[in-house]
Amino acid sequence: MRYGRRATTAVACAALAVVSLAGCGGGGGQKSDAKPSSSGGGSPSAPASTGATSPSATPSQVLAQIKGEKGIEVTINSAVRDSGGFVTVEGEITNDGTAEFDANDWVGNETALGASGASVAGAVLVDEAGKKRYYVLRDTEGRCLCTMKLLSIQPQETRPFFAQFPSPPESTTSVEFELPTMPPAKISISEG
């Protein structure tokens, strides 16, 4: 009986490992919940499904600042390409307005991303030279690999965000970052 339990446990562990690895495959846009690590340092490492991010150390550079309606400002501090074929964009959202802000409009129009809720799921990187658009990656449940739960951002509050995209070719070092309801901004991609 004791060996039977061990065998059952071993089979269950092996099945869990196979399911876990299947979620890491590169086909069909299916990604695991965890954001791949980047050697750029300071990258959020919380699972995308929780919507939590750990703020980067004090941002040392500003790639772009986007000012939208009602005092909402998006600051992009980094866009890092890693060896895994991803570009991770990180920055901060600041509510310089007088009313609470929810990022519901930033999810975009694609119904499949509705599971991401108030987030930056509608963000896009545009490679004008290559004539391609790169959309935020998703996990196996259709949630974005980006910061979620961007609700109730109070006046004068700042929150960190990240969004992960497929990487444009290495020859592409400059892209346009677009977020629904906000003006586009040109940003440079650095190597991680």
Separation CA 164–CA 152 (nearest Å): 23
Strands 86-95 and 72-81: antiparallel
One-letter amino acid at 106 equals W
CA angle 159/166/85 to nearest 5° reads: 110
Separation CA 21–CA 118 (nearest Å): 29
Strands (E), 18-58: 30-31
% residues pLDDT > 90 (the chain): 55
pLDDT of 19 higher than 60? no
Cα dihedral angle (126, 130, 132, 133), rounded to 10 degrees? Answer: -20
What tens digit of pLDDT does each residue of 36-92 get?
433 333 334 333 333 444 444 445 799 999 999 999 999 999 999 998 999 999 999
Nearest to 108 by CA among 52, 50, 178: 178
More confidently predicted of 21 and 56? 56
pLDDT of residue 125: 97
Separation CA 145–CA 159 (nearest Å): 17
Phi, psi angle pair for 165, to nearest 5°: -125, 160
Compute how many other C-beta atoms are within 10 angstroms of the C-beta atom of residue 113.
20
Considering only 33-37, 69-73, 109-113, which range has the smallest mean pLDDT? 33-37
pLDDT of residue 59: 55
Q: Where are the alpha helices (DSSP H) in the chain?
A: 2-22
pLDDT of residue 109: 76
What tens digit of pLDDT does each residue of 133-165 get?
999 999 988 899 999 999 999 999 999 999 999
Residue 133 and residue 126 in contact, taking contact as beta carbons nearer than 8 Å? yes
Considering only 9-23, 113-127, 138-152, which range has the smallest mean pLDDT? 9-23
Separation CA 162–CA 12 (nearest Å): 34
Separation CA 64–CA 134 (nearest Å): 18
Residue 161 and residue 91 in contact, taking contact as beta carbons nearer than 8 Å? yes
**Which residues, 6 or more positions from 68, have their beta carbon under 8 angstroms from its beta carbon?**
74, 181, 182, 183
